[in-house]
A and B are shown apart, each in its own frame.
Chain A
Amino acid sequence: EVQLKESGPGLVQPSQTLSLTCTVSGFSLTDYSVHWVRQPPGKGLEWMGVMWSGGSTAYNSALKSRLSISRDTSKSQVFLKMNSLQTEDTAIYYCTRDSLHWGQGVMVTVSS
């Protein structure tokens, strides 16, 4: 069974760095890509970036300067790091495979 699960801190201080982990099971990261999507409270979905199965990445143009996605295939984990967080980055962060399989999401609040 394909599963994805996001984990990370629920609260991050402004200007700090967000680190999230997407732990997957039921498939190999070398066979499938994993995307990150976020959703601020009461707002729409925003595509953030992707870790392709071959190991390359692509990013949202507006976030590119702050965002980094990496992986550890041996641990079946994909990592998201975003620096210089502001209150506007408060959102639910999801990881997804194929758009068909989604994690439950992790709520991240940026506040002092």
Chain B
Amino acid sequence: DIQMTQSPSSLPASLGDRVTITCRASQDIGNYLRWFQQKPGKSPRLMIYGATNLAAGVPSRFSGSRSGSDYSLTISSLESEDMADYYCLQSKESPNTFGAGTKLELK
């Protein structure tokens, strides 16, 4: 199975900060990488698909990138509504696998 190593597990940040969360794939997954945001008590929300494509309705301060087997989610200027848990998911092959998650919180 493909392992997704996500870091950091916790990310304290201030409003207006630029923040980056990273997932490393244990095997080639091409651009089959999705990012999700999840707030307490809510279902996950798709933010990025195909590693770099913004899902409908997602603010432009969110972006996704890839460097080899490393995939990143960047928020260019943190807003209060962005405080949430974030997960990556590889959908290159079954079984799909999630990263362990990153808790983004106010410093």
Q: Which residues of A contact B (CB under 8 A)?
A: 35, 37, 44-47, 49-50, 58-61, 94, 96, 98-100, 102-105
B95 with A45: CB separation less than 8 A: no
User: B56 CB to closest chain A CB, in angstroms?
Assistant: 8
A103 and B43 in contact (CB under 8 A), knowing A47-B96, A58-B95?
yes
A50 and B100 in contact (CB under 8 A), knowing A99-B34, A99-B49, A102-B44?
no
Give which listed residue, B46, B55, B56, B97, contacts A47 with CB less than 8 A: B97
| B71-85 near A? 1/0 per residue, CB < 8 Å | 000000000000001
A44 with B89: CB separation less than 8 A: no
A47 with B89: CB separation less than 8 A: yes
Size band of the interface chain B makes with A:
20 to 34
Q: Which residues of B contact A (CB under 8 A)?
A: 1, 34, 36, 38, 43-46, 49, 55-56, 85, 87, 89, 91, 94-101
- The CA-CA distance from A51 to B98 in the complex, in Å, is 18
- The CA-CA distance from A47 to B100 in the complex, in Å, is 12
A45 with B44: CB separation less than 8 A: yes
B36 with A47: CB separation less than 8 A: no
User: A90 CB to closest chain B CB, in angstroms?
Assistant: 17
